[in-house]
Amino acid sequence: MSSTAIVVTSGKGGVGKTTATANIGAALAMNGPKVALVDADIGLRNLDLVLGLENRIIYDLVNVVEGRAELRKALIKHKHVENLSLLPAAQTRDKNAVSPEQMRKLVSDLKKDFDFILLDCPAGIEQGFKNAIAGADKAIVVTTPEMSAVRDADRIIGMLMAEGIDSPMLVVNRIRPDMIKRHDMLTVDDLLEHLKVDLLGVVPDDESIIVSTNKGLPAVMDSKSKAGKEFKKIAARLMGEDVAEAAATAEPGDEWFVRLIKWFRGERG
């Protein structure tokens, strides 16, 4: 199996990029592949915290690209998920500490040892974004059902396409079925209508995410977490499985749900 580098991005901050990276990465690793998570959010790192690995950081991404630490030594193995490793960001530096060329080299080095490389992209469209997408083959765009997040996602998708990452996959985070029913929230169909990209998954708004984030344990490790279940499905889809079961939020017959099935069938057929 050749390895794939996927950037997790959104444009807007606070939509759940880091949570998605941690959970999709952990879910992938729990299924067998070797997964490296790269925190590209230099200066505002969080991925280490969400994974509960903050106190294990010795070297970071900047140390590695500057040649002051070996990549192997900077990678931190997750304490519970065997195949999951983290390359933490530097906190005392900023986005300009690395260049897209250095990131490309870093990702190609990681590909020698890992099946999946997930890059946690910073918010924004500046240097940090350019660094994070530099080595990526594919992109996951995370958005929430809010107009502001959708606008930013649209901008990001355009920029990804301009960089040659042609078919970004959409993850809609923090869906609230009750609000959709009351017509108080954009539906997944509305989003797809606007963004015209492939849907990778829909994750419900779930309190267990806050709990798991604070504990430093990905929600996918909690079998009761609704969001965790959806992240597991997303991981399975990334591995090429036909997981078309309705999201917890779906009403049977929802149009986006049918489209999701069609998309996966289409890709496989």
Partner 1 sequence: MFVGTREGLRLLVDAQASIDTLREAIRRRLAEAPGFYTGASVVVDTRGAVVPVQWVEEVRQVLESYGLRLSQIDHGAGGTGGADGGSTKARLRAASMLSAATAEAVANPDPPNEAAPAVPAVPGADTLLIKQSLRSGQCVSFEGNLVILGDVNPGSEVWADGDIVVFGTLRGVAHAGASGNREARVVALRLMPTQLRIADKICRAPDDDVKGPRGPEQAFLKDGAIVIEPWSTHAGTVFGG
**Which stretches of the chain bind partner 1, using CB under 8 A?**
43-45, 52, 54-58, 79, 91-94, 216
Q: What is the DSSP string of 92-161?
A: SS-GGGS-HHHHHHHHHHHHTT-SEEEEEPPSSSSHHHHHHHHT-SEEEEEE-SSHHHHHHHHHHHHHHH
User: Beta strand 138-143 with 4-9: parallel, antiparallel or unpaired?
Assistant: parallel
Adjacent-strand bridge partners of 201: 171
CB nearer to partner 1: pick between 44 and 246: 44
State in angstroms the smallest separation of the CB of 267 from partner 1.
40
Using an 8 Å Cβ cutoff, are 67 and 97 in contact? Answer: no
State in angstroms the smallest separation of the CB of 78 from partner 1.
12
CB nearer to partner 1: pick between 43 and 100: 43
Using an 8 Å Cβ cutoff, are 38 and 110 in contact? Answer: yes
State in angstroms the smallest separation of the CB of 76 from partner 1.
11
CB nearer to partner 1: pick between 45 and 232: 45
CB nearer to partner 1: pick between 91 and 249: 91
CB nearer to partner 1: pick between 90 and 220: 90
State in angstroms the smallest separation of the CB of 94 from partner 1.
4
Q: Kindly state the DSSP code that residue 220 receives in the 8-state scheme.
A: G
State in angstroms the smallest separation of the CB of 43 from partner 1.
6
Q: How many residues does the chain have?
A: 269
Contacts 24+ apart (CB under 8 A), 71-78: 71/106, 71/109, 71/110, 75/36, 76/48, 78/26, 78/29, 78/51, 78/53
Alpha carbon distance 40, 122 (integer Å): 7
State in angstroms the smallest separation of the CB of 55 from partner 1.
4
Q: Kindly state the DSSP code that residue 89 receives in the 8-state scheme.
A: P
CB nearer to partner 1: pick between 60 and 205: 60
